[in-house]
Structure 1
Amino acid sequence: MSERVSPAFGILLVDDEPAWLRSLAMTLERSAGLTHLITCDDPRRVLEILDGDDVGVVLLDLTMPHLSGEELLALIAADHPGVSVIVVSGMNQIETAVRCVKLGAFDYHVKTDEEDRLVAGVLRAVRMQELQRENLEMSSRLLAGAPQHPEAFSGIVTSDPTMRTLFSYIEAVARSPQPLLITGESGVGKELIARATHQLSGCRGALVAVNVAGVDDPVFADTLFGHVRGAFTGAEQPRRGVVEEAADGTLFLDEIGDLSIASQVKLLRFLQDGEYFPLGSDRPKRVKARVIVATHQDLTAKEKAGLFRRDLYYRLRTHRVRVPPLRERKGDVPLLLEHFLDEAARSLGKKKPTAPRQLAQLLAAHDFPGNVRELKAMVFDAVSVHKERVLSMDSFLDAIGLRRGAPAAAPAGEGEGEKNPFAGLERLPGFDESLELLIQEAMSRAGGNQTLAARLLGISQPALSKRLKSYRRG
């Protein structure tokens, strides 16, 4: 794969002085990592270049032979209104600057200004172009309704419309250099989304994943940025950090909500400047890597509580997706069940068992606090102990806590978030009344299947049938 240039669109530098063009190109590449540069020393060729190449930003000198910068600016605004034009003049004249802005210039700089100011202005224009293009891409993807590269999401088993919309969004932002924040409960498959994003990104480097939960600041800095020889006691050899390993690729930081404030500062500096210092070194390194972060925590609440830096939070949430929990996409349960039965059978060297017809109904009634990961564990456990052609439901009932002899639930007050179902009632329901309500709930959860409802209640199917007939007669 060819080396990826930055940004995805071209930056056209126009000046009749070749020496200035070379100097400006070197400055933008060295200071900002911008490599997709096109130079032109004849203003008469500019419109031809814009017609033939994908150019997003133009840096335009004002004083040039054959065609002045102001004349060219007006032509660009008329024929290519989506291009951001930055005027770079040798004169510091307010009237000229105002006139250029009225003609459609994005910004105005003087050649004698500090180099950093011009670089910052170019980066602002690049960022604006990227946002505009990403918005257009997202609109077209979402209107299309289906991902254009479904193979990138082949590892995610789903038919849920919300997940399909999420896939379209990921396709739209995959090539963006800005960070992506993935939120969702534990076990929903956030890393699978990160891997799909990397696959669609066009990055030629690798995806490097790091779980930062419980990592203290020195270990975090060493893990991310590495160290030089002699940086600390025992550092006998230099060590590359994961940032360098992810060069031209993707750096995936999982459980970012657990990062300490000190480590957040280091990460923010890297995201802002693209530079970092290995431990023990005073020479900065520059690496381009797409950053994807994930967390099961509420970063908005953590930021308001002062546990997560606001500047880092807003830097990370430029693009963000929430992966819905399994209880919000119950239609995926049968698909996932079949998928994990196949996977478990292959992994354990067994023939794939047949799932009982009632199993999908039983699982659909479960909330799955552990999400897809919990379902996978259930299936692997059941397949590992099964011996007959039809898969036993016993291990699933044990896991959900519905089989006779299963461990009793903790007494009220011992479990977290437990509620008293009788709180607020003026009178307790009678035994017969409670039993009828319980049977109605079991039948509702079982989708009207008496065999499954009987299993949920821990009684025989004939006993349940007898009860139902008595209620109908009554």
Structure 2
Amino acid sequence: MAGDIYPDFPILLIDDEPSWLRSLGLLLERAGFTNLHKLTDGRKAQSLLAEQKIGIVLLDLMMPGMSGEELIPLIREESPDTVIIVVSGMNQVNLAVQCMKLGASDFIVKTGAEERIVTTVRNAVKLWELKRENRAIRDTISKGPSNPEAFSQIATTNRYMASIFSYIESLATSRQPVLITGESGTGKELIARAIHRVSNPPGPMVSVNVAGLDDTIFSDTLFGHVRGAFTGADARRAGMVEKASNGTLFLDEIGDLSAPSQVKLLRLLQEGDYYPVGSDLPEKINARVVCSTHQDLPAKGKERLFRKDLFYRLQTHHIHMPPLRERKDDIPILLETFLTMAAEETGKKRPVYPQELPVLLATYHFPGNIRELKSMVYDAMARHQGGTLSMASFKEAMQGHPGSIEDSPPPPADSTGNPFTGLEPLPNLAEASHLLVMEAMARAEGNQSIAARLLGISQPALSKRMKLIREKKEV
């Protein structure tokens, strides 16, 4: 059956000894490799490589007609991605070195090498699949997303976000885990839902916030339990892994998992099976796992609070969501989107907002990211009584809030924080003040009220400084 063929690309075996070729084929088939082609004449290999994409070639060196040494560079020229493994009866170091120089990936001596052959082929399959996946990712990202409707819930015009969309599309056929990182409020769950929509599996997306779950509740929530597993377990209960069958299992706040739960998740990802609470019979997972966290997992790994092996397993595919302060070009479209949503929910007519509002918002650091901007817009709509949308509630939310201009900590006194350290000649106070005012006006796009907020002075005070600057230029 076609479904039993593995891997999905051919493995070519070349040896002039039919008995060895048969034995090698049986060895690989017993190890699960069934997509095999066999040749006793190396001269036929080039035409076969031209007809189809061969992933791996195992070949002998001493063959009549065309030797393995002659064949290696021809294979490399015809199919650069093909992994070449030499399996020879000759145990000579200089011969192995020569094969490597020609383009072979490994050199194995036939005698008693069955286990090594299987291991080498298994690693070569993984290597070829990784090369193919990386190539697909590069191709997809260079073309841009072809399925924009899958990302319709994410309002953006940012180029980095567009590259994330393309990367997600390139992962559509992969079954490997995806780790989404980023600060709180950056839209990690929306990205998880986009991954599910792009993959278009027949099953559902099931979301679980694992923050605060102890190991017992984690096991019961994810794996379910059998009847009689504990007091009160009167019936079998399906876990979230089972409910996500043929779909996507989204585990939010994965950085908060307890140590025992991390072990169980690692087993689930590595072995592909799990045990419902109270059961001795394993169940197979049939869902793609997507995880997210706002925490720094490598840092937690150094502190031994998060398993490094689990982190490496989770980040097979990694998407990092940028904070809003790094995609401020998205503020206008997000503002429009949230205003429309808030108007619909409050039953009010969507208002016009002052053109300087996006400029004002762009001066803010948004520690709460997109979620904070959404809250600001909804609060402004709740207060809105008619006419042009007031900026008062936005200014109130920004005033004195952690991450606001006024609340930003002063730069450190060392050389990394003082922009004037090492500057020769040192500008005088008037020159420094002039430059600072000009930069604030540039960031505020000429709006003195916003520039004054950036500088921490009143608008009249800024007007006086601007007047002095103009008078000095005219002198």
TM-score of the two chains, using structure 2 as the length reference: 0.72
How many angstroms apart in 2 are the aligned matches of 1:204 and 1:8?
A: 24
How many angstroms apart in 2 are the aligned matches of 1:332 and 1:6?
A: 47
How many angstroms apart in 2 are the aligned matches of 1:133 and 1:26?
A: 25
Report the number of matched residues.
436
In structure 2, the residue matched to 1:191 is 189
Alignment of 1:266-305 (within 5 A): 266-305=264-303
Question: Shift in Å at residue 105 of structure 1?
Answer: 8.1
How many angstroms apart in 2 are the aligned matches of 1:179 and 1:299?
A: 16
Alignment of 1:313-328 (within 5 A): 313-328=311-326
Residues 109, 264 of structure 1: CA spacing in aligned structure 2 closer, same or farther, 3 A cutoff?
A: farther
Q: Which amino acid aligns with 2:376?
A: M
Q: Give SS of 1:127's match.
A: helix
Q: Give SS of 2:225's match.
A: coil
Contact 1:334 1:360 in 2 (8 A): yes
In structure 1, the residue matched to 2:248 is 250
How many angstroms apart in 2 are the aligned matches of 1:359 and 1:150?
A: 29
Q: Which moves more between the two structures, 281-290 or 362-371? A: 281-290
Residues 125, 220 of structure 1: CA spacing in aligned structure 2 closer, same or farther, 3 A cutoff?
A: farther
How many angstroms apart in 2 are the aligned matches of 1:255 and 1:120?
A: 36
2:231 maps to 1:217: no
In structure 2, the residue matched to 1:124 is 123
Question: Shift in Å at residue 46 of structure 1?
Answer: 10
2:364 maps to 1:366: yes
2:127 maps to 1:133: no
Q: Which amino acid aligns with 2:134?
A: N
2:446 maps to 1:448: yes
The superposition leaves residues 260-313 of structure 1 with CA deviations (integer Å, 9 ceiling, x where unpaired) of: 111111111111111211111111222233222211111111111111112112
Contact 2:250 2:290 in 1 (8 A): yes
Question: Shift in Å at residue 222 of structure 1?
Answer: 1.6
How many angstroms apart in 2 are the aligned matches of 1:150 and 1:123?
A: 37
Alignment of 1:74-113 (within 5 A): 82-83=81-82
Residues 457, 107 of structure 1: CA spacing in aligned structure 2 closer, same or farther, 3 A cutoff?
A: closer
In structure 2, the residue matched to 1:265 is 263
Residues 321, 459 of structure 1: CA spacing in aligned structure 2 closer, same or farther, 3 A cutoff?
A: closer
In structure 2, the residue matched to 1:413 is none
Q: Which amino acid aligns with 1:254?
A: D
**Structure 1 unaligned regions, length at least 5:** 29-33, 63-69, 402-407, 411-416, 426-431
396, 399, 407: which is aligned to 1:398?
Answer: 396
Q: Which amino acid aligns with 1:126?
A: V
Q: Give SS of 1:208's match.
A: strand
Contact 1:257 1:299 in 2 (8 A): yes
In structure 1, the residue matched to 2:378 is 380
How many angstroms apart in 2 are the aligned matches of 1:168 and 1:201?
A: 13
How many angstroms apart in 1 are the aligned matches of 2:290 and 2:47?
A: 38
In structure 2, the residue matched to 1:204 is 202
How many angstroms apart in 1 are the aligned matches of 2:83 and 2:196?
A: 29
Alignment of 1:47-62 (within 5 A): 56=55
How many angstroms apart in 1 are the aligned matches of 2:389 and 2:75?
A: 69
How many angstroms apart in 1 are the aligned matches of 2:433 and 2:56?
A: 73
In structure 1, the residue matched to 2:167 is 169
Question: Shift in Å at residue 188 of structure 1?
Answer: 0.9
Contact 1:86 1:105 in 2 (8 A): yes
Contact 1:341 1:379 in 2 (8 A): yes
Residues 26, 279 of structure 1: CA spacing in aligned structure 2 closer, same or farther, 3 A cutoff?
A: farther
How many angstroms apart in 2 are the aligned matches of 1:373 and 1:342?
A: 16
Contact 2:10 2:37 in 1 (8 A): no
In structure 1, the residue matched to 2:422 is none
2:228 maps to 1:230: yes
Q: Give SS of 2:156's match.
A: coil
In structure 1, the residue matched to 2:345 is 347
Q: Which amino acid aligns with 2:241?
A: V
Q: Which amino acid aligns with 1:140?
A: D
How many angstroms apart in 2 are the aligned matches of 1:313 and 1:52?
A: 41
Q: Identity rate of aligned residues, in percent? A: 49
In structure 1, the residue matched to 2:64 is none
Residues 253, 422 of structure 1: CA spacing in aligned structure 2 closer, same or farther, 3 A cutoff?
A: closer
Q: Which moves more between the two structures, 157-166 or 216-225? A: 157-166
RMSD: 4.9
Contact 1:182 1:294 in 2 (8 A): yes
In structure 2, the residue matched to 1:414 is none
How many angstroms apart in 2 are the aligned matches of 1:198 and 1:322?
A: 17
289, 301, 307: which is aligned to 1:309?
Answer: 307
Question: Shift in Å at residue 359 of structure 1?
Answer: 0.5
Q: Give SS of 1:357's match.
A: coil
145, 148, 153: which is aligned to 1:147?
Answer: 145
In structure 1, the residue matched to 2:331 is 333
Q: Which moves more between the two structures, 438-447 or 124-133? A: 438-447
How many angstroms apart in 2 are the aligned matches of 1:334 and 1:8?
A: 48
Residues 467, 178 of structure 1: CA spacing in aligned structure 2 closer, same or farther, 3 A cutoff?
A: same
Q: Give SS of 2:237's match.
A: coil
How many angstroms apart in 1 are the aligned matches of 2:208 and 2:398?
A: 32
How many angstroms apart in 1 are the aligned matches of 2:165 and 2:77?
A: 36
Question: Shift in Å at residue 156 of structure 1?
Answer: 2.1
Alignment of 1:402-413 (within 5 A): none
The superposition leaves residues 292-343 of structure 1 with CA deviations (integer Å, 9 ceiling, x where unpaired) of: 2211111111111111112112222222222111111211111211121122
